[in-house]
Amino acid sequence: MNLEAILNSFRVPPSNYRFDQVHHGLINQSYKVTDLSSGQPEYFLQSIDTYVFSNIDGLMENIRLVLEHINYKLSAGTLKALKVLPRLVISKKDSPYVKVDGACWRLYSFIEGAYDRQDRSIISAGEAGKLYGEFISSLMDLDPSLLTVTIPRFHDIGWRFEQFNTACSTASVERKEKSCETIEFAHRMESKMKKSFSLITRESVPIRIVHNDAKLSNVLFDEHGCGLTVVDYDTIMPGYLSLDVGDSLRTIASSLSEDDPHIEKVTFNIDLFKAYYNSFYQAVRSTILPIEIHSIEFSAVYMPFIMGLRMLTDYLNNDIYYHTDYDDHNLVRAKNQFKLVMEIESQSDAIHEFIHELST
């Protein structure tokens, strides 16, 4: 893989560049590109997983539309939380991506002075809530039908259980034995989660343009801990606002990262939930509907469950979707998320009371 040749397919000035791989993503391969003449990072080069995303043209058009729409508001000075967005660098053939040896690559401008934070503090939770709230709010006047659904049935629990049941029937004996208790938990929760999904997606709930991967690692901060922007736009498509909130909470208000093997220490921090949701709500309060607010209570449990189910399914399928660092990595992730489900359920009354208080 000749990264220099791939970079030279884009409209970039000639120079000597260094490529440093970024390892925090679960799907795509990413590289920070530094101009050696200045010593400054200039670009973010990224392959697009064509196993996960089959419609690359639709995906890249979604990103173009969203960046153009939000950048217009940034230039008009109408946004408060979002400070900057990365810029897509166009190829020498005027395309938003290039295809090299069957692999698809895109290039973003590098956001100088931006950092990701995983400290799960009250401040970072509040900043993340502001950013995700304003990100969704800024897109509410963009017609969702203009965007392509790049992953059909992405958060559909019925579809995810179909995949899970198929994986259970084809998995190795060893992996089924290792995960038998986790499999049993998933089956016990099936009816409840399907009912929650039907409430979250009922006909009266509006379709919005949402991020669909609204986790803490996709928020960038400045050196002082103030929020700068939201990144990783691959899953931006029509969906439900409350599911983005649930996805944020599973990473922001959990005591541990989703990879942490100390399952017994996984808890749900109600103060971090309040900090995030208060900031999020203030950003969307003029447009969010009461039925969407009510759906958030279900989504807080639903999103860690469906993520755990997907991780367990991938484990049973011998890890074909998520990047793993060791044999049982996906099983650890699934157990972690299912423990978080139980922790959130134990605090459902406090979650309900805070959401209700804020909106009345």
Among 82, 109, 136, identify where a domain stops: 109
C-alpha 326, offset from chain centre: 23
CA distances, 134 to each of 79, 159, 167, 280, 338 (Å): 8, 30, 38, 8, 30
User: Are 78 and 170 contained in the same domain?
Assistant: no
Among 109, 140, 158, identify where a domain stops: 109
What is the total count of domains within the chain? 2
CB contact set of 21 (below 8 Å; sequence gap of 6+): 29, 30, 31
Is residue 33 domain-resident?
A: yes
pLDDT score, position 257: 93
Is residue 117 domain-resident?
A: no
List per-residue pLDDT tens for the chain, 360 residues long.
799 999 999 999 999 999 999 876 555 688 999 999 888 889 999 999 888 898 999 999 999 999 999 999 999 999 999 999 999 999 999 999 999 888 999 999 999 888 887 778 999 999 999 999 999 999 999 999 999 999 999 999 999 999 999 999 999 999 999 999 999 999 999 999 999 999 999 999 999 999 999 999 999 999 999 999 999 999 999 999 999 999 999 999 999 999 999 999 999 999 999 999 999 999 999 999 999 999 999 999 999 999 999 999 999 999 998 989 999 999 999 999 999 999 999 999 999 999 999 988
Find out whether 85 and 74 touch, Cβ atoms under 8 Å.
Answer: yes
Q: What are phi and psi of 41, to 5 degrees?
A: -65, 135
pLDDT score, position 116: 82
pLDDT score, position 28: 64
Distance CA 182, CA 65 (A): 41
Find out whether 336 and 267 touch, Cβ atoms under 8 Å.
Answer: no
Is residue 136 domain-resident?
A: yes
Is residue 116 domain-resident?
A: no
User: Are 139 and 266 contained in the same domain?
Assistant: yes
The percentage of residues in the chain with a pLDDT greater than 70, rounded to a whole number, is: 98
User: Are 93 and 167 contained in the same domain?
Assistant: no
Which residues span the domain enclosing 11? Answer: 3-109
pLDDT score, position 24: 62
CA distances, 302 to each of 33, 156, 199, 228 (Å): 38, 11, 11, 28
CATH number of the domain encompassing residue 233: 3.90.1200.10
User: Are 157 and 90 contained in the same domain?
Assistant: no
pLDDT digits (tens, 9 = 90+) for 39-60: 888 999 999 988 889 899 999 9
pLDDT score, position 288: 96
User: Are 195 and 318 contained in the same domain?
Assistant: yes
Is residue 115 domain-resident?
A: no
pLDDT score, position 347: 96
CATH number of the domain encompassing residue 53: 3.30.200.20
Distance CA 289, CA 101 (A): 47
CB contact set of 229 (below 8 Å; sequence gap of 6+): 82, 83, 84, 85, 86, 111, 114, 131, 219, 220
Is residue 10 domain-resident?
A: yes
User: Are 319 and 196 contained in the same domain?
Assistant: yes
Among 60, 77, 109, identify where a domain stops: 109
In the block, residue with structure tokens 């003029």: 286
User: Are 150 and 265 contained in the same domain?
Assistant: yes
pLDDT score, position 292: 96
Q: Chain-wide mean pLDDT for the chain?
A: 94
User: Are 90 and 157 contained in the same domain?
Assistant: no
Q: What is the DSSP letter of 254?
A: B
| The pair of three-digit structure tokens given for residue 272, joined into one six-digit string | 């971090």
